Amino acid sequence: MVHVVTGDPLLTALDDEQRVAAEALIGPVCVLAGAGTGKTRAITHRIAYGVASGSYDPSRVMALTFTSRAAAELRTRLRALGAGAVAARTFHAAALAQLNHFWPIVVGGPAPRVLEFKGRLLGLAAERCSVKVDTATLRDVAAEIEWRKVGLVGMDDYRIRLAARGAPGTLTAEQVIALIEAYEQLKDERRAMDFEDVLLATAGMIESEPAVAMQVREAYRHFVVDEYQDVSPAQQHLLELWLGGRRDVCVVGDASQTIYSFAGASAEFLLGFERHYPDATIVRLERNYRSTPEIVEAANRLMRGRPGALRLAAAAPDGGDPAAADPHPGESAPPAAEVEVEVAPPVEPAPDRAGRSGRTGSDRVAHGPVPDVLEFPDELAEARGVATRVRQRIDAGVAPESIAVLLRVNSQSAMFEQALGEVGVSVRVRGAQRFFDRPEVREAVRAIRAAALAIADEPLFKSVSDVLRSLGWTVEPPAGPGAVRDRWESLNAIARLVDDQPAGTTFRMFADDLRTRAETHHEPAVAAVTIATLHSAKGLEWDEVHLPGLVEGMLPIAYATGLDAIDEERRLLYVGITRARRRLSMSFSRWSAGRRSEREPSRFLRELDTRTPGASRPASAAGAPARARR
């Protein structure tokens, strides 16, 4: 039995299951965390509790994740919880830091430079091999190189696999092999390495140099791995080398959100964790605090019966047992390990930095509208219909930044950008120019950092706003969309960051935080509707989400053949559904652009086609809902 000390504020901010994870500080721990169940809160509070209780030396804890944005979010939360000395990095950043440290000692001289991208060197390799390739084919070959390396596939095995599944584009298997070998040769000649080499070289150094292994394992004693379903064989191998046979590792993940198999990610490490560590503490987080019960039900229906799928339960709207909100009680798989918890009456936690109270069993998620499934005659009508609905919601008072349109592929974006522009809605396209790369943002960051060297003893907002006013920012926004409004939105996003700072933040500290955000691309919210692919939306959430283009050939994508590939597409839709907090709208169109071919609605819609009246409705060409359709 685990005795929970509910008086500790780091524990009272958690629900019962999260507390179990937070108190399991020693030994192997696996947290199976469904979408919206507060996994980041659970692991950051676990780390902070370990530090506060004296179980962890903060300088010897490593929190690992997969993107710079996620690592920055972990650091921000840990700092707010008093554990700012804990390292939170991506696998690549952690490996590169070790490589740069040990290379001069072991090999001599500075470590090889890391290529930002492979395209240019692959182009030179193609010239050396006399192989004609276009840009798209070069991208495919680069993906082949990455997949082979992160999958720890040797060249001999790769030749066999390539012959079996075929080469990308119009290349032959022999040409692909020649291209890869020429690329590796050029890379060695120029004393460079790619991002995958960073993992492999660091692992090789730890394996071959006992002194390096000893220092690395002495530096870090406790590991926490977020998004563990996305780990690749190369990353798993490096993690095992870092551990060196020790068992103090906590992994967190959701098999239903494995959407990067094409890049080498494998949920098998998550699903097989208990086999690897038979005595591991297994905790299931299935209480969804993000979405309405109606959205949770749609997500559950889509994933019912899939391997490793968790059965989400919406946080009960009546404040009672969350299981009361589960429309299909008893269908969940039994937990892998039972943990009995003794809990005192809950203590109301203090609000976090964003003003939200902590997650407890009494949190409520109110009911909302049943997710829409809308039909349109063609793609243009669908884009305009979605834009019209978005405009109506903004006119009703919904903040633009709380709305997202999530797409399967980037090529769908232009039509929705145009349609939203026609109704006067500002758009932010994820994957386009990054926030901190915008000219006005770079100018503002430079000006704030310069001013921070001279200005002191003034309220933070006054110091920041004075600098931004000198660059043209005003309290009130300019009228209408356009370039002037876009510039204002960028500067206003910086001004709004002041509200997120903890008490006592100085102007110099704010300037340093801006620099860190710029380096890690930890972007602030901008008052614009987000357009993003489903892949890039993972880890994010919005109040209202639109999922258009749900037709056969788009989702699932046309090249997804075989059960594994179709399951990956299913998980991709699951990620899209679970990004929504309050409203979810899905749609499809019968005809492609130019009415060249009629399409079938996605097979997944048949599983989602609700048994609730009015949930599936067609729409007119203008986007207005029409008669009910079952």
Most confident stretch, 360-364, 405-409, 619-623: 405-409
Q: What is the pLDDT of residue 617?
A: 43
Any known ligand binding at 40? yes
pLDDT at 132: 85
**The one-letter amino acid at 419:** A
**Would the pTM of this model clear 0.85, i.e. be above it?**
no
Other residues' Cβ atoms within 10 Å of the Cβ of residue 308 = 17
The number of residues in the chain equals 630
Lowest mean pLDDT among 213-217, 388-392, 435-439: 435-439
Q: What would the mean pLDDT of 376-401 be, rounded to a whole number?
A: 92
Chain centroid to CA 134:
31
- In this prediction, residue 480 has a pLDDT band, given cuts at 50, 70 and 90, of low
More confident residue, 224 or 496: 224
The string over 47-81, giving b where at least 16 C-beta atoms fall within 10 Å of a residue's C-beta and e elsewhere, is bbbbbbeeebebeebbbbbbbbbbbbbbbbbbbbb
Alpha-helix runs per DSSP H in 91-189: 91-106, 119-129, 135-150, 155-165, 173-189
Q: What DSSP character marks residue 112?
A: P
Positive/negative CA dihedral, 601, 605, 610, 611: positive
Identify the residue with better confidence: 435 or 261.
Answer: 261
pLDDT of residue 623: 42
Mean pLDDT of 446-462: 82
Residue 449's pLDDT band (cuts 50, 70, 90): confident
Determine the 3-state secondary structure of 505 from DSSP: coil
CA angle 619, 369, 328 (to 5 degrees): 115
- What is d(CA 40, CA 540) in angstroms, rounded to the nearest whole number? 12
Specify the amino acid at residue 112.
P
Sign of CA dihedral 369, 371, 376, 379: positive
Q: Residue 323: pLDDT band by 50, 70, 90 thresholds?
A: very low
- For residue 343, give Cα distances in angstroms to 6, 19, 201: 7, 10, 47
User: Model confidence over 261-303: pLDDT tens digits?
Assistant: 888 888 899 999 999 999 999 999 999 999 999 999 999 999 9
Tell me: is residue 119 an annotated ligand-binding position.
no
Residue 338 reports pLDDT greater than 70: no
Question: In the structure, what pLDDT confidence band is assigned to residue 434 with cuts at 50, 70 and 90?
Answer: low
SS3 (DSSP) at 221:
coil
Q: Is the pLDDT of residue 376 over 60?
A: yes
Residue 624: what are its φ and ψ, rounded to 5°? -85, 135
Residues ≥6 apart with Cβ < 8 Å to 284: 17, 32, 310, 335
Classified as helix, coil or strand, 424 is coil
Query: How are strands ordered across the β-sheet holding 281-285?
Result: 87-90, 61-65, 222-225, 249-253, 29-33, 281-285
**How far apart are alpha carbons 42 and 47 in whole angstroms?**
9
* 228-267 confidence digits (pLDDT tens): 999 999 999 999 999 999 999 999 999 999 898 888 888 8
> Best-predicted range by mean pLDDT among 316-330, 559-573, 599-613?
559-573
Q: What percentage of the chain carries pLDDT values higher than 70? A: 84
Q: What is the mean pLDDT of the chain?
A: 82
- Would you say 37 is a known binding-site residue? yes
The pLDDT, as a whole number, for residue 622 is 39
pLDDT for res 609: 64
Q: Cβ distance 402 to 530 under 8 Å? A: no
Q: Quick one: how many helices (H) and strands (E) in the chain?
A: 24, 19
CA 253 to CA 260: how far, in whole Å?
A: 13
- Ligand-binding annotation for 34, yes or no, is yes
Distance of alpha carbon 135 from its chain centroid, rounded? 27
Q: What is the pLDDT of residues 511-525, one digit of tens each?
A: 888 888 787 767 776
